[in-house]
């Protein structure tokens, strides 16, 4: 029950409308007057009043069997103040804090205020012998109610609502003993607000008209104050409605007419038709959705799976991200269901010892569930219930096993996914398993603190003790639990290990750092390198461990070997364009034996299937393969997926260049519309479509040929797209590549290969110097192109976007034209769409200017700009995250290209559909952005009638409120909240953590500012600054400067308006990196009473979370009506200060050489690793 909710309560995480009947009427909850009343069949009653007062009635059998704030019910008041640890206290404040999770700060009344609130005009009315309550107070002791009233009035500084709540609580208690105090309310003193079609009655008797017996309030026939329905209306779910608008009841829950809801495990969608009639129809969640409760509502929501990893010697990373190592060689439980779930499963893995080593590695993995035992061994050999099976294989409708690149992969329809190969194991589960798992992968509770949970239910600290507790009984496997201590490593070898393993911090792996932090993998790499005595092959295996984790996170690093020690030089040859061979293009395939190292793309919603004979669906697909008629081919099964879903397979890398002919056979037979077969060439980290066919081509195999002219190593991607119905079985067979031109090309093939130029070929006719990037998107998207490998695209649009409360209402250029945006309603959390510019052959300083719009409540939505050079090297040069307000913002980005270059705009879909990010009016200018004029005009939207704007004089900051502060002398009248786990720090110069925080204050460049030090807290910790109280309750404008620079995920800054002593409302916030600069913020405040301001800094996912504020001031009036002057600092000093950070980093690097003579190799390695980890 929530005080602010009077018409619904939350039951097991789901909001239920009142009145409510649970467990066959054993528990009922309804609204009676101003109270929520819970009653049970064992005579427990709870009355929760709108005033916040709680009354609990328990039957006599619970005497001396309860504890808490209400005492122990042993009929002895002397021992009621007993705290949880058994001690008896006298101070009620100590008693309350012992029952409270977080202490509260209390306001204290002055003597004058106490005298005022004790008068009969306020709390004294309760104890007055001549007042309205004299009859009741002569029977009931009103002293406790008087003290509570005084406490609330002092805490809220005399809030009238607190007085009304106190009187209401005493009046309700009087009613309980049969003494009714009538007419203590009136239209100006404590009035009651009733809902539509109802009115207040201080003494209502008789039972109200209801749509159903379940709508009854539970009390009638006596005099009580309540809202009653107007004539012609009746109660339905606590509201007054007409008879034809009566709602429905289902499973003790009330639904409004035409309201829809899910039932069971989301297998039925039902709608209330009115007057108790409910219509249900079968439904199910999509393949990428899970049935769960979110925000109190049962429904189908996008799945966000978590991954547990086991790799190396071996190392484990739990579902909640806890990393540890264990060297046992037994059979261990990796993950199992330890709570109530619809499907119970257990995953175990055998570890085997390594030759001449005390370490181990994964040997095989087993999945057990009801009636099915699947074992995956080395070389992707799969056994089911004791017999070996050929892949792909299906087991009923719930489990399928198939080859996916280097893994044997198990997919299920109950939220579990498993991949095993090359001694690496990845286990993925979705939200339905939160808090019900155990084993070496931890508990998936959202916290690492309980990951080391043993089968006995104990949480231990030692990884070896934890891991050996999950050893299974396996008489066929001789083993030991290994040593609890890692093998010793010589300091010189360890130093070399850190140097080589720190390759993971370099640019070759940079694209994945955001998604898979490399620090854990560097540590495990060092361990494996030491154990292998510096073996290069083991080093490359450790780097591959990180690359594999990136691929599971859907980040692909195809060229990482070229930039590491693992790079293998190609064999020398005299022929610059050799004929392709099995060594250079090892992917010609007839699919009769296997998939010839073609890999399924893991991020797809379904996969290609290797098959022999007819496909399962009728009237679609081939009857046999193309090669012999009795062999195997690859196809997509349209029966198991949805319209528009795609499946892709990618070839191994081919190192031959020059003209070549790609040949293949395809079969497209079926009645579905929009089924597709596409081929792409993937070169220089870009994919370009080279061939395509659509819809039914007849029940025959056809040959396709494509001439390609790659200039670099490349791969081929084959994409099948499911059409409008299951008759969409697209097939391929006999893929090969030959040197030279194709023997014969169809007209369609010729058109595709000649009309679509290779993306790496620049257009030499591009105008100079703008390089064809300038675009206002009015006519088209100019020379910008969509990236075909993205899961969704940017949209050219005019007017408001379809999703409410997000996106712009018009373009920036004219207010009636077009712009580009990403539609958050068509994608999933984390999906990205990219716009690629034409190539610019002008490698000198450039300024990219554009306008962007980021408005919406979605968490982690974002916009990034990348500079693409050397064909495939993309560097992020600008980024913005989360809501930036419902307006267009100007951005200017300095580009420093070395060679010909392109620009990428990347839009990222956040946690909800309110993620519509837009761009408009893109232009490129030669030279630095600082050379451009600053007088950029706002959008020129014509007005139908001139509107005069009256401006106020420049106001002075409200120094009387004590809020204005530049922090140069002290923190003025601001105070730290004592209940926080860490505090804001007053500081000057750079913050201690590298690559985060400002290099100087905003005011002068040499003064002080306030910041939160991310190195002193953990993820999610907050620190709050509280202002002095301001007794000026009228519109105010809060102005301040903030600095948010760092790579930490979810770091943030929020501003709260605090009123009534304890009511805090968030009025402004910013999240994540905003660049290494100070930003101005202005926030409109609309206080009703005396108020305070809170600045809350939030520590993100890493130590690079230094959020800073400076130059805070408060001004009377709305921000839009005030003309501000730049009181603090100037642009030159700010620009100079922003450069200090980079200069400091350079100086830090140059100081390494000076320190080398003073520190040992181990110390140098440790310092280097700490610096790289922070970076």
575-616 confidence digits (pLDDT tens): 333 344 333 476 789 898 888 889 888 777 788 999 999 998
Per-residue model confidence (pLDDT) at position 1062: 67
Per-residue model confidence (pLDDT) at position 88: 83
Q: How far is CA 837 from CA 540, 752, 756, in A?
A: 36, 22, 16
State yes or no: pLDDT of 861 exceeds 60.
Answer: yes
Residue 475 exposed, middle or buried by CB count within 10 Å (0-12, 13-18, 19+): exposed
Asked whether 780 and 794 are in contact (CB, 8 A), the reply is no
Give me the residues paired with residue 1042 across strands.
1079, 1109
State yes or no: pLDDT of 573 exceeds 50.
Answer: no
Per-residue model confidence (pLDDT) at position 1171: 43
524-538 confidence digits (pLDDT tens): 999 999 988 898 889
Per-residue model confidence (pLDDT) at position 4: 58
Per-residue model confidence (pLDDT) at position 747: 44
pLDDT tier for residue 1175 given thresholds of 50, 70 and 90: very low
Lowest mean pLDDT among 441-455, 699-713, 754-768: 754-768
* Reported pTM: 0.40
Name the E strands within 343-396.
345-353, 360-369, 372-376, 382-384, 387-389, 393-395
Residue 88 exposed, middle or buried by CB count within 10 Å (0-12, 13-18, 19+): exposed
Three-class DSSP labels, 555-613? CCCCCHHHHCCCCCCCCCCCCCCCCCCCCCCCCCECCCCCCCCCEECCCCCCCCEEEEC
Averaged pLDDT, 772-796: 88
Q: Furthest-apart CA pair in the chain: how many Å?
A: 113
* C-alpha 590, offset from chain centre: 43
Per-residue model confidence (pLDDT) at position 842: 84
357-377 confidence digits (pLDDT tens): 667 889 999 999 988 999 999
b/e sequence 881-913, b meaning 16+ C-beta within 10 Å: bbbbeeebeebbeebebeebbbbbbbbbbbbbb
Measured CA to CA, the distance from residue 827 to residue 736 in angstroms comes to 35
Measured CA to CA, the distance from residue 516 to residue 692 in angstroms comes to 35
State yes or no: pLDDT of 832 exceeds 90.
Answer: no
Averaged pLDDT, 1119-1144: 49
Which has more confidence, 941 or 75? 75
Per-residue model confidence (pLDDT) at position 354: 74
Specify whether the backbone of 1109 is left (phi greater than 0), alpha (psi in -120 to 50) or beta: beta
State yes or no: pLDDT of 13 exceeds 70.
Answer: no
pLDDT tier for residue 757 given thresholds of 50, 70 and 90: very low
Per-residue model confidence (pLDDT) at position 1124: 65
Lowest mean pLDDT among 294-303, 310-319, 321-330: 294-303
The mean pLDDT of the chain is 82
> Position of tokens 């089911």?
384
Measured CA to CA, the distance from residue 467 to residue 360 in angstroms comes to 14
Q: Is the dihedral of CA 707, 708, 714, 715 positive or negative?
A: negative
pLDDT tier for residue 569 given thresholds of 50, 70 and 90: very low
Tokens of 757: 């130029």
Tokens of 248: 């429905």
Measured CA to CA, the distance from residue 470 to residue 472 in angstroms comes to 6
677-698 confidence digits (pLDDT tens): 999 998 877 788 899 998 888 8
SS3 842: coil
% of the chain residues with pLDDT over 90: 33
Per-residue model confidence (pLDDT) at position 221: 65
State yes or no: pLDDT of 277 exceeds 70.
Answer: yes
Tokens of 659: 């003209």
Per-residue model confidence (pLDDT) at position 1140: 38
Q: How far is CA 1135 from CA 877, 1004, 1141, in A?
A: 18, 12, 11
Per-residue model confidence (pLDDT) at position 581: 39
* Helical H segments across 760-833, by residue range: none
1009-1047 confidence digits (pLDDT tens): 999 987 767 777 888 999 998 988 889 999 999 999 887
Per-residue model confidence (pLDDT) at position 1045: 87
The strands making up 889-895's β-sheet, listed across from edge to edge, are 795-798, 818-821, 917-926, 846-854, 889-895
644-664 confidence digits (pLDDT tens): 788 999 998 888 888 888 999
Taking the CB of residue 877, how many other CB atoms lie within 10 A of it? 16
Closest CA to 56 of 1, 12, 102: 1
State yes or no: pLDDT of 1119 exceeds 60.
Answer: yes
Measured CA to CA, the distance from residue 428 to residue 418 in angstroms comes to 6
Per-residue model confidence (pLDDT) at position 15: 65
pLDDT tier for residue 1136 given thresholds of 50, 70 and 90: very low
| Backbone phi and psi for residue 350, each to the nearest 5 degrees, phi listed first | -90, 130
Per-residue model confidence (pLDDT) at position 939: 39
Three-class DSSP labels, 568-584? CCCCCCCCCCCCCCCCC
Give me the residues paired with residue 721 across strands.
646, 676
Per-residue model confidence (pLDDT) at position 863: 93
Which has more confidence, 36 or 470? 470
State yes or no: pLDDT of 105 exceeds 80.
Answer: no
Which has more confidence, 192 or 857? 192
Which of 83-87, 277-281, 1030-1034 has the largest mean confidence? 277-281
pLDDT tier for residue 451 given thresholds of 50, 70 and 90: very high
Q: CA dihedral defined by 756, 762, 765, 770, rounded to 10 degrees?
A: 120
Helix (H) or strand (E) holding 289: strand 289-294
Measured CA to CA, the distance from residue 585 to residue 571 in angstroms comes to 14
% of the chain residues with pLDDT over 70: 85
Per-residue model confidence (pLDDT) at position 1: 77
18-29 confidence digits (pLDDT tens): 778 887 778 988
């Amino acid at each position: 029950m929530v005080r602010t909710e009077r018409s619904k309560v939350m039951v097991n995480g789901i909001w239920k409308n009142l009145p409510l009947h649970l467990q066959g009427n054993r528990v009922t909850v309804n609204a009676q007057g101003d109270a929520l009343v819970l009653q049970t069949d064992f005579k427990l009653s709870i009355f929760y009043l709108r005033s916040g007062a709680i009354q609990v009635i328990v039957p006599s059998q619970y005497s001396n069997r309860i504890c808490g704030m209400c005492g122990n019910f042993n009929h002895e008041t002397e021992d009621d103040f007993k705290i949880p640890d058994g001690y008896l206290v006298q101070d009620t404040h100590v008693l309350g804090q012992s029952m409270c999770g977080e202490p509260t700060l209390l306001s204290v009344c002055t003597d004058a205020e106490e005298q005022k609130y004790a008068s009969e005009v306020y709390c004294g009315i309760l104890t007055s012998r001549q007042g309205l309550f004299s009859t009741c107070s002569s029977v009931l002791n009103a002293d406790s109610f008087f003290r509570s009233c005084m406490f609330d009035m002092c805490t809220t500084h005399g809030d009238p609502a607190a007085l009304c709540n106190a009187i209401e609580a005493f009046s309700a208690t009087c009613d309980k003993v049969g003494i009714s105090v009538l007419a203590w309310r009136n239209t100006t003193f404590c009035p009651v607000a009733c809902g539509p079609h109802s009115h207040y009655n201080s003494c209502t008797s008789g039972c109200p008209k209801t749509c159903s017996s379940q709508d009854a309030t539970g009390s009638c026939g006596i005099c009580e104050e309540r809202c009653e329905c107007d004539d012609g209306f009746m109660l339905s779910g606590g509201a007054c409605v007409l008879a034809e608008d009566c709602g429905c009841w289902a499973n003790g829950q009330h639904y409004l007419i035409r309201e829809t809801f899910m039932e069971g495990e989301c297998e039925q969608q039902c709608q209330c038709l009115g007057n108790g009639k409910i219509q249900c129809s079968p439904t199910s969640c999509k393949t990428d959705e899970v049935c769960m409760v979110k925000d109190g509502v049962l429904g189908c929501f996008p799945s966000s799976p978590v991954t547990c990893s086991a790799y190396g010697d071996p190392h484990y990373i739990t579902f909640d991200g806890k990393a540890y190592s264990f060297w046992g060689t037994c059979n261990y439980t990796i993950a199992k269901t330890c709570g109530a779930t619809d499907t119970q499963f257990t995953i175990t893995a055998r570890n085997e010892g390594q030759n001449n080593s005390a370490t181990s590695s994964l040997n095989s993995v087993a999945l057990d569930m009801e009636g099915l035992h699947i074992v995956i061994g080395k070389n992707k050999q799969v056994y089911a219930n004791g017999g070996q099976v050929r892949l792909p294989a299906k087991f009923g409708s719930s489990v399928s096993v198939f080859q996916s690149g280097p893994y044997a992969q198990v997919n299920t329809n109950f939220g579990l996914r498993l991949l095993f190969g090359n001694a690496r194991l990845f286990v993925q589960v979705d939200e339905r398993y939160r808090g019900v798992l155990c084993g070496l992968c931890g508990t998936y509770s959202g916290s690492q603190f309980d990951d080391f949970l043993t089968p006995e239910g104990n949480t231990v600290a030692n990884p070896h003790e934890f891991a050996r507790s999950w050893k299974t009984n396996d008489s066929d496997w001789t083993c030991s639990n290994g040593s609890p201590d890692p093998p010793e490593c010589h300091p010189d070898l360890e130093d070399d290990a850190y140097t080589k393993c720190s390759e993971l911090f370099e640019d070759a792996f940079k694209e994945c750092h955001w998604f898979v932090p490399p620090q854990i993998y560097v540590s495990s790499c060092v361990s494996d390198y030491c154990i292998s005595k510096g073996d290069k092959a083991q080093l490359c295996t450790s780097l591959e461990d990180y690359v594999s984790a990136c691929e599971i996170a859907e980040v692909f690093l195809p060229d990482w070997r070229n930039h590491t020690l693992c790079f293998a030089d190609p064999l020398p040859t005299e022929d610059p364009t050799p004929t392709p061979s099995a060594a250079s293009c090892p992917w010609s395939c007839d699919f009769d034996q296997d998939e010839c190292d073609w890999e399924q793309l893991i991020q797809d919603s379904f996969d290609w299937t290797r098959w022999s004979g007819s496909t399962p669906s009728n009237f679609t697909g081939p009857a046999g393969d193309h090669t012999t008629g009795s062999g195997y081919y690859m196809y997509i099964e349209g029966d198991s997926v949805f319209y528009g879903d795609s499946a892709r397979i990618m070839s191994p890398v081919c190192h031959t260049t020059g003209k070549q002919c790609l040949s293949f056979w395809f079969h497209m037979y079926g009645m579905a519309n929009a089924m597709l077969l596409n081929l792409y060439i993937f070169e220089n980290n870009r994919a370009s479509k080279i061939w395509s066919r659509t819809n039914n081509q007849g029940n025959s195999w056809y040959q396709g040929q494509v001439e390609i002219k790659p200039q670099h190593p490349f791969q081929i991607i084959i994409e099948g797209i499911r059409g409008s119905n299951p008759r969409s079985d697209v097939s391929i067979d006999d893929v090969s590549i030959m040197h030279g031109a194709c023997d014969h090309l169809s007209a369609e093939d010729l058109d595709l290969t000649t009309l679509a130029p290779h993306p790496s070929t620049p257009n030499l006719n591009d105008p100079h110097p703008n390089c064809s990037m300038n675009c206002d998107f009015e006519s088209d998207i100019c020379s910008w192109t969509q990236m075909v490998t993205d899961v969704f695209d940017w949209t050219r649009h005019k007017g408001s976007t379809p999703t409410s409360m997000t996106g712009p209402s018009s373009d920036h250029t004219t207010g009636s034209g077009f712009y580009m945006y990403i539609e958050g309603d068509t994608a999933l959390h984390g999906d990205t769409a990219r716009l690629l510019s034409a190539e610019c052959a002008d490698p000198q300083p450039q300024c990219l200017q554009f306008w962007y719009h980021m408005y919406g409540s979605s968490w982690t939505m974002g916009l990034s700009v990348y500079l693409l050079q050397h064909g495939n090297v993309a560097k992020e040069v600008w980024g913005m995250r989360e809501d930036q307000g419902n307006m267009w913002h100007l951005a200017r980005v300095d580009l420093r290209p070395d060679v010909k270059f392109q620009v990428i705009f990347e839009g990222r879909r956040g946690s909800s559909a309110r993620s519509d990010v837009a761009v408009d009016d893109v232009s490129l200018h030669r030279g630095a952005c600082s050379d451009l004029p600053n007088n950029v005009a706002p959008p020129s939207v014509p007005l139908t009638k001139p509107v005069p704007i009256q401006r106020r004089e420049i106001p002075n900051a409200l120094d009387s409120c004590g809020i204005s502060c530049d922090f140069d002398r002290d923190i003025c009248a601001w105070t730290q909240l004592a209940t926080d786990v860490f505090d804001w720090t007053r500081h000057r110069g750079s913050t201690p953590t590298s690559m985060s925080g400002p290099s100087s204050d905003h005011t002068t460049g040499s003064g002080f500012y306030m910041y939160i030090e991310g190195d002193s807290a953990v993820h999610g910790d907050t620190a709050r600054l509280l202002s002095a109280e301001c007794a000026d309750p009228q519109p105010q404008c809060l102005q301040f400067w903030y600095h948010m620079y760092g790579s930490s995920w979810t770091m943030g800054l929020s501003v709260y308006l605090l009123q009534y002593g304890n009511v805090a409302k968030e009025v402004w916030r910013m999240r994540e990196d905003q660049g290494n600069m100070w930003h101005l913020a202005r926030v409109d405040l609309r206080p009703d009473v005396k108020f305070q301001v809170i600045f809350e800094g939030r520590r993100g996912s890493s130590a690079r979370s230094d959020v800073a504020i400076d130059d805070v001031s408060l001004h009377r009036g709305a921000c839009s009506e005030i003309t501000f002057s730049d009181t603090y600092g100037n642009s030159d000093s700010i620009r100079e200060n922003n450069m200090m950070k980079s200069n400091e980093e350079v100086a830090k690097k140059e100081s390494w050489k000076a320190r080398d003579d003073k520190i040992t190799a181990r110390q140098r390695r440790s310092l280097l690793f700490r610096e790289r980890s922070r970076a």
